[in-house]
Amino acid sequence: MLNNWFKRRVYLDYAAATPARNEVLKAMSPFWSDRYGNPGAIHTAGVLAKSAVEEARETVARTLRVRATDIIFTSGGTESNNLAIRGAVRAMRLANVPATDIEIISTAIEHPSVSECLKRLIEEGVRVIYAPIDTEGKVIAEEFKKLLSHRTRLVTIAYANSETGVVQDISRLSRMVRMFEKENGLTIPFHTDAAQAPRWLPCALDSLGVDMMSLDAGKCEGPKGVGVLVKRSRVALSSITGGGGQEFKLRPGTEPVPLIVGAATAISLAQKEHESKSAAASKLRDRWIKELTKLPGVLLNGSATERLPNNVNISLPGFDTEFAVVVLDAAGIAASTKSACSASGSGRSHVVYTMTGDEARAASTIRFTLGPETSWRDLKQTTHALRKHIEKMHQSGLTV
Residues 279 and 256 in one domain: no
Name the domain boundary from 243, 269, 295: 269
- As annotated, the active-site residues are 341
186-204 confidence digits (pLDDT tens): 999 999 999 999 999 999 9
pLDDT digit string (tens) for 99-121?
Answer: 999 999 999 999 999 999 999 99
pLDDT digits 0-9 by tens, 113-147: 999 999 999 999 999 999 999 999 999 999 999 99
Confidence at residue 60, expressed as pLDDT on a 0 to 100 scale? 98
Together in a domain, 256 and 392? no
Q: What domain count does the chain have? A: 2
318: domain range? 2-19+275-396
Residues 39-87: tens digit of each pLDDT: 999 999 999 999 999 999 999 999 999 999 999 999 999 999 999 999 9
Q: Mean pLDDT across the chain, nearest whole number?
A: 95
Query: Same domain for 43 and 145?
Result: yes
pLDDT tens digits for range 198-246: 999 999 999 999 999 999 999 999 999 999 999 999 999 999 999 999 9
Looking at residue 125, which CATH number applies to its domain?
Answer: 3.40.640.10
Say yes or no: 298 and 227 in one domain. Answer: no
* Claim to verify: residue 75 and residue 214 sit in the same structural domain: yes
| Domain-ending residue, one of 269, 299, 316 | 269
Same domain, 9 and 63: no
One domain for residues 15 and 141: no
Q: Average pLDDT in the 296-325 region?
A: 96
Q: Look at residue 344 and tell me whether its pLDDT is greater than 80.
A: no
Task: Check pLDDT > 70 for residue 182.
Answer: yes
244 with 105, same domain: the answer is yes
How much is the pTM? 0.95
Q: Are residues 51 and 168 in the same domain?
A: yes
The answer to whether residues 45 and 149 belong to one domain is yes
pLDDT score recorded for residue 8: 75
Reported as a single tens digit per residue, the pLDDT across 270-290 is 999 999 999 999 999 999 999
- Does 27 lie in the same domain as 7? no
**One domain, residues 15 and 64:** no
**What CATH number is given to the structural domain containing 341?**
3.90.1150.10
pLDDT for 347 equals: 73
Question: Does the pLDDT at position 400 exceed 80?
Answer: no
Domain boundary among 238, 269, 300: 269
Please give the pLDDT value at position 396: 87
pLDDT of residue 346: 55
Provide, rounded to the nearest whole percent, the portion of the chain with pLDDT above 70: 96
Q: β-strands 212-216, 10-11: how paired?
A: unpaired
